[in-house]
Amino acid sequence: MIIVGILFSVIIFAGIIYTLIKYFQFWKRFRLPKALYWIVQTLFMGMLILCISRITVIESEIAKSILLRISAIYFVVLVYSTVLILIRQLICILGQRMAMKNRVYKFIRSTKRGVGSILIFTFVLGIVSLFNMQYMTYTEYDLGASEKEQDVPLKIAAIADAHIGTAVLRSDLQELVTKINETKPDVIFLVGDMFDHSTSDSLKMAAVKAFSEFESTYGVYYVEGNHENYLKEDTTKYFREAGIQV
């Protein structure tokens, strides 16, 4: 398993390097300073690493929010570009062997048009993904039951993947609680990934204060997700302080 993990990491790393080189070739088509490209990439990569590993050291929530959003877009561009550029390269190899000369193949093979289209597509995808991440979705399900059980209806509210500090901001907490309380649930379940590496201590306390205002007939229950398990602390204490059963 360790060898497979190392091999997979090497393949991913090689793919990213190849993508950065292809974008460098695209950059040179516009006769821009070559050093500037690597400076920009270094800055973006540095922001991404900071957001993954040490984002909580930044105290300003505005600065943190800006960094997270720029890094999220860059991450989407980098990952999807790697996949699409490798597919493009495969098409170019096959096209060369098959002596393809149609317009589509020429468009794909062109660095300026082919690679440029991938950059534009992945950037737009990153913007859309960012807005999708920030948009809280409320979905209702009507689950059927036996005729005997239907005499006692139960309304359950479940909240998942809030990622407070990344997806749900401090200003969104009250809206989240209000929306849930408006449904008048019988029981509320917080089913993991409320916190992640970007959730500062002050945000955790703000979440405790907001979550203590949940209203339900039979209480509020919480279970940890994988992102809480990644953190080197007992996050359940915050939920217990809010009167939530863990």
What pLDDT sits at residue 152?
67
Structure tokens at 186: 């019988």
Q: Could you give the CA distance from residue 163 to residue 185 in angstroms, rounded to a whole number?
A: 22
Q: Could you give the CA distance from residue 186 to residue 55 in angstroms, rounded to a whole number?
A: 37
Which portions of the chain are predicted below pLDDT 50? none
Of 207, 220, 245, nearest to 236 (Cα)?
245
Q: In sequence order, what are the residues at sequence separation of 6 or more whose Cβ sits closer than 8 angstroms to the Cβ of residue 123?
A: 73, 77
What pLDDT sits at residue 241?
84
Of 164, 79, 29, nearest to 177 (Cα)?
164
What pLDDT sits at residue 73?
92
What pLDDT sits at residue 203?
84
Beta partners for residue 245, in sequence order = 221
Half-sphere exposure of 174 (CA within 13 A, CB side): 1
The pTM of this model reads: 0.74
What pLDDT sits at residue 4?
76
What pLDDT sits at residue 146?
58
The alpha carbon dihedral of 130, 132, 133, 136 has a sign of positive
The model's pLDDT over 118-159, given as tens digits with 9 standing for 90+, comes to 999 999 999 998 887 777 677 777 776 655 555 667 888 988
187-190 vs 220-222, strand pairing mode:
parallel
For residues 87 and 114, the answer to whether their CB atoms sit within 8 Å is no
For residues 214 and 181, the answer to whether their CB atoms sit within 8 Å is yes
